[in-house]
Structures are given as structure tokens and as C-alpha cells.
Structure 1
Amino acid sequence: MKNLYVTGYKHYEMGIFKMSDPRVHYIKQTIRDKLIGLIESGLQWVLLSGQTGVELWAAQIVLDLKEEGYDIRLAVIPPFDNQDARWSEELQEDYQEVIMLADFYQPIYDGDYKGPYQFKARDKWMLSKTEAALVMYDENQTGSVDFFLKEVQSYQEAHDYELYYITALDLQDTVEREQMNDPSYWDQT
């Protein structure tokens, strides 16, 4: 696999409203761990649309990994121009930094938001350009990622397409591993 789409919940779908929320650290660390394994297995490109939450955090992780010397490239393919127009200033700054540092950036549609068909077109485009997707997903929590997963089911009827998941169990494993690596954790009685 050379090209991977990374997606998942938007920040507010997870009840995260401040990027200083400790859950962001654990989500990013879990994404990092998954990506390193895939890079070591030959992954060359991470593609994402840059939406808030999992995708924006994954983009930041890819940029960090590039700085650390990993051979990985980042493509940001939003469904339309100015998708960040209604975001908070902090999220806009993060997004602008990501698209500035990405190896490739190109909106699917020129111009601003026109309708939900642009999101469906994004999903179809991502499926056609990647061999697999890494998806943060919990079957007990609905969100925008459900639309992509429905598109994948249809696509898999005629194409070989692999799904990798980040689940609540993966996140819990990351939390526990980091706690156990913290020397002060063992001092508690």
C-alpha cells in the first residue's frame, strides 16, 4: 500500500472543544503509532481533506514524522476552497500551517461550499486515489465519518480496499502505555 486516506470524527463530534484537551494528545499518539507501522511497511503518501479533528491532527503528525526523518508525504485535498472560513481562529491557523507545509494541496472544487455533493465527491475521489483508509471509528457513536464508511461498503463490492481502524480500545491502550511509562504512575499507592 502506497497511499492511505486518514479520516475520522471532527473535534466537536468527540466533545473536544479545546485543543488543550488531554484526549487530543492520546488520539494523536495513537495515530502516530499506527502511521509509523504503515510507513515501515511501505506507505508513501497520507491523503486527507484537512477537516477538523482526526484529519487535522493526522496532518500535524505526518508533518512531525517528516521532521523526524520518516519518508512520508502529505496531500491535503479539501472538498472546496476556504473550508476553514467558519472555524475558530486557532483551528484556521493550524489548517493554514498544514496546507502551507503539505507536499500537495488541491481542493476538489474551486470556490466556496455549494452543497453536500462536494463531500460525497471528496469521498469518492479519496477512494479512487488510495488503497486503504485509517479511520477513527466507534460503532456506538455516529458522526460525519459514517457517510465515508457507507461509501466504502459500496466501493468494496467492486474494488479491493482495506480499512484500518482506530478504536476506543486502541486509545485506551495508548493511555495505559503512557501511564505505565510515567515513573510517577508507579509511585501511587
Structure 2
Amino acid sequence: MLNRLVITGYKAHELGIFNDTHPGISIIKKAIQDRLIPLINDGLEWIILSGQLGVETWAAEIVMDLQMEYPELKYAIMTPFLDQEKNWNEAKQEKYEMILAQADFVTSLTKRPYEAPWQFIEKNKFFLKNSDGMLIVYDEENEGSPKYIKKLAEQYAERYEYEIFLINAYDLQVVAEEEQIKNWEQS
């Protein structure tokens, strides 16, 4: 059974998304929500995020919305290092602070400011060892930062019982078309 799920994927800028009004955000959020609801109904209790801008912050917003209907669902923000938001603009920092304030658990895994890429590697290893599966928004044809944790998760899944769920460009296209049809039928 899946109790603890890591959600990760692209950073917003890797998708060419630079503000909260981008139409792609609602498609990504809908795709994540559609994957989460059956898992929650099957006993999923915790969502684990590192809090990076993009898929992970959108996932936190989805969990906050889902907690209205599924109050047993919790989420943790476990950053790879302290003050990961210190170079973000004010609006992004405010949104991040709100996500942290609503989280059921918050920590920094290395308990020190950014030093080197080893902190991301340690975060990835920790996430794999302390979860039952991972939901990744990633498309092989559009490389980006999620490729590293995806590769690590696939290697981990070869040795341990570990589920990997992927949302790719095709999945997002299907959601976009379904939403378009729904909007067309309502007008």
C-alpha cells in the first residue's frame, strides 16, 4: 500500500512559466489531482515535497484544496538546504511562506545553507528511502532537472518495492483536451 508519495517534476521556468496566470498551470494541477484522488482513496496519507517552484508548489496547493475533502491527507516540505527561497522574488517568497505555514511538517534535510549539488543528491536519496512511491511530471522528450531523480527512482525500484507514476506531455494533452471539451459543453 502507498502511504507516502513524493511529488516532483519540472521547475516553473523549465516549462516557460513565469507567472501564476499561465494557462498550463491549471492543466498540470488537474493532471496531478486526477492521479492523487484514487491513491488517497486507497490509503495515501502523506505527500512529500522539497518545495521547489513549479510542480512541487502547485502540488502543495492541490493538497491544500484536497484537504477540505480528505482531512487525513498531509504534506511535508523537506528542503535540501536552508533558505532555498532567499533569491526568489517577493511574490514567490510570500506564496512559499504560505505553503510552508500550511504544511503538516517542515524541515531542511542538511540543516545548512546551499553549499553544493551534493545536497540535492542527499535529498533525492532521503526521499526514496522514506517514501513508497513517486509521482513525476516529466517528459523524456523535454529534458530537465527531474531526469536525475527519475533515473535514481527507477534504479531504486529495481531493488525495492517502489512505485513510479509519470505524468508526461501526452497525459497533459489529454487533460487539456478534456477541459476544453468540458468548457465547450458548458458554454
Q: State how 1:7-46 maps to structure 2 within 5 Å.
A: 7-46=8-47
Q: Which residue of 2 aligns with 1:131?
A: 132
Partner amino acid, structure 2, of 1:138:
D
The answer as to 2:80 corresponding to 1:89 is no
> What is the alpha-carbon root mean square deviation over aligned residues?
1.5
Q: CA deviation at 1:186?
A: 4.8
The answer as to 2:117 corresponding to 1:112 is no
Q: Which residue of 2 aligns with 1:167?
A: 168
Name stretches of at least 5 consecutive residues in structure 1 with no aligned partner: none
Instruction: State the distance in 1 between where 2:75 and 2:182 align.
Output: 30
Q: Which residue of 2 aligns with 1:99?
A: 100
Q: CA deviation at 1:70?
A: 4.3
Residues 63-92 of structure 1 show CA distances to partners (whole Å, capped at 9, x for unaligned) of 111123442000110001110111122221
Q: Which residue of 2 aligns with 1:143?
A: 144
Q: Which residue of 1 aligns with 2:64?
A: 63
Instruction: State the distance in 1 between where 2:68 and 2:185 align.
Output: 33
Secondary structure of 1:5's counterpart equals strand
Q: CA deviation at 1:157?
A: 3.4
Instruction: State the distance in 1 between where 2:186 and 2:41 align.
Output: 36
Give the direction of change, closer, same or farther, for the CA distance of 1:13–1:45 in structure 2 (3 Å limit): same
Instruction: State the distance in 1 between where 2:116 and 2:165 align.
Output: 29
Q: CA deviation at 1:150?
A: 2.0
Q: CA deviation at 1:170?
A: 1.5
Instruction: State the distance in 1 between where 2:95 and 2:109 align.
Output: 20
Secondary structure of 1:77's counterpart equals strand
Partner amino acid, structure 2, of 1:91:
K
Partner amino acid, structure 2, of 1:65:
L
Instruction: State the distance in 2 between where 1:138 and 1:44 align.
Output: 27
Count of matched residue positions in the alignment of Structure 1 and Structure 2: 186
Runs of 4+ in structure 1 over 4 Å off: none
Identity within the alignment, %: 39
Partner amino acid, structure 1, of 2:173:
Q
TM-score, reference length from structure 2: 0.94
Secondary structure of 2:108's counterpart equals coil
Partner amino acid, structure 2, of 1:151:
L
Residues 32-82 of structure 1 show CA distances to partners (whole Å, capped at 9, x for unaligned) of 111111101111100010101001100111011112344200011000111
Q: Which residue of 2 aligns with 1:3?
A: 4
Instruction: State the distance in 2 between where 1:69 and 1:129 align.
Output: 22
Instruction: State the distance in 1 between where 2:70 and 2:159 align.
Output: 37
